[in-house]
Amino acid sequence: MATAMAAIAPKEELNPFEIAKQQFNRAADYLELEDSMRSVLRNAKRQLIVSIPVKMDGGETKVFEGYRVQHNIARGPAKGGIRYHPNVSLDEVKALASWMTWKCATVGIPYGGGKGGIICDPKSMSKNELERLTRRYAFEIAPIIGPDRDIPAPDVYADSQTMAWIMDTISMVRGHTELGVVTGKPLSLGGSLGRPEATARGALYALREACKVKGFDLKGATVAVQGFGNAGSIIARLVHEDGAKVIAACDSKTGVFKADGLDVPAMLKHKEETGSLVGLKGVKEIAPNEVLEVECDILCPSALENSITMANVGKVKTKIIAELANGPTTPGADRVLEDEKIMLIPDILANAGGVTVSYYEWVQDMYSFFWSEDRINHTLEETIGKAFHNVFEKMMKYGTDMRTGAYILAIDRVAEATRVRGIFP
């Protein structure tokens, strides 16, 4: 099976926007959605491309290209992160914006989907250069963002400091402080308790429900985590605290494996001190992509898109996959996993904890009334638990997989909002 898959792998569609459209079309077919509605929901409402001149530390001026895409706002203002990465493209940002539309609808929060990105290598830039880049990008996209229009958040290689710079820039442009213009901010600037670990915590709540459905306990389960950034490192800690055994993990430089369980606190400390998992003592080092092939009960792809493809899906040996990354599994690989009875908790559910707590942050900012962390986590658990079972019911009703069940749920909600609003003029 694996040899045959590898033979056809070069022909597999890996463009993220084309993959997003395939996922949409599959669910729309189940819903028997009319062609006119498909056209409305498939296309991005607004796409902005900006040139970002930045004075570098050496004195020269370099021009970067940035994007902000608003896919759909039928159910509320656009919401979505900003990523800094050398491989950012308009099609990638369009795909991520559409996934945000379906993600928000899946968990039932009143947002549409948006996304932003800048083509750059943040690892090679100084903090001052990143600040100038961020502030100029914020100024360029200022006409289309705002607490009632489009609310950015951090994504790959962006963080709370990035959001603070954007909030300050927009506030200076508009002449008053706008706490709600971005989420994922520092606590001192209207950020929310629980936000840094929200993506992973949402995945934890979804995993607990998935384990019940699959008939085993998360306590004692073996877990492999691909990617050890914010989401990956925190899900490793959270499942470890729940009694699971993390047996494999990786970052961009190396993978680590230990059959009887990795020392997660030691891993986290080593990563914090050195910036990598390289050199972690008492483990077997493996290639980063080999983590996806480790036999385990739960696999958590937490890096970038297109990690599980037709080229390697035949080597995946797990019971549950929780997609903490956006778009880590291709449509072809989805069909293989479905045939193998592997439960896949799709990205638009598994990593929706981040946007859900971002919504809580936005609500707190708009009312200037802030919640306790216990209240945030409890409300998140209720939201993700309800969403999981809504998706599972759609999956069972239509006899399909969890991803398609989530898309059926989400597309139906957005289509209904679009029908009720009508088309202007």
Instruction: List, for residues 149-188, the tens digit of each pLDDT value.
Output: 999 999 989 999 999 999 999 999 999 999 999 999 999 9
Residue of 21, 79, 94, 115 with catalytic role: 115
Task: Kindly give the parts of the chain with pLDDT less than 50.
Answer: 1-9
Of 342, 287, 288, nearest to 318 by C-alpha is 342
Question: How far from each other are the two terminal CA atoms of the chain, in whole angstroms?
Answer: 54
pTM: 0.93
**3 state DSSP class of 116:** strand
DSSP letters for 52-107? EEEE-TTS-EEEEEEEEEEEE-TTSSEEEEEEEETT--HHHHHHHHHHHHHHHHHH
**3 state DSSP class of 334:** helix
Q: Domain segments of the chain: what residues?
A: 43-189, 198-350
Q: Does the fold of domain 198-350 match that of domain 43-189?
A: yes
Supply the pLDDT for residue 115.
98
Supply the pLDDT for residue 9.
47
CATH architecture of the domain with residue range 43-189: 3-Layer(aba) Sandwich (3.40)
Cβ contacts of 57 within 8 Å, gap of 6 or more: 126, 128, 129
Supply the pLDDT for residue 233.
96
Supply the pLDDT for residue 304.
81
pLDDT digits over 37-68, tens only?
Answer: 999 999 999 999 999 999 999 999 999 999 99
In the chain, the largest separation of any two C-alpha atoms, in whole Å, equals 66
Supply the pLDDT for residue 305.
85
Q: Which residues of 145-178 are buried (b: 16+ CB within 10 A; e: fewer)?
A: bebeebbbbbbbbbebebbbbbbbbbeeeeeeeb
Domain spanning 198-350: CATH superfamily: NAD(P)-binding Rossmann-like Domain (3.40.50.720)
Q: Is 397 one of the annotated active-site residues of the chain? A: no
Amino acid at 134: T
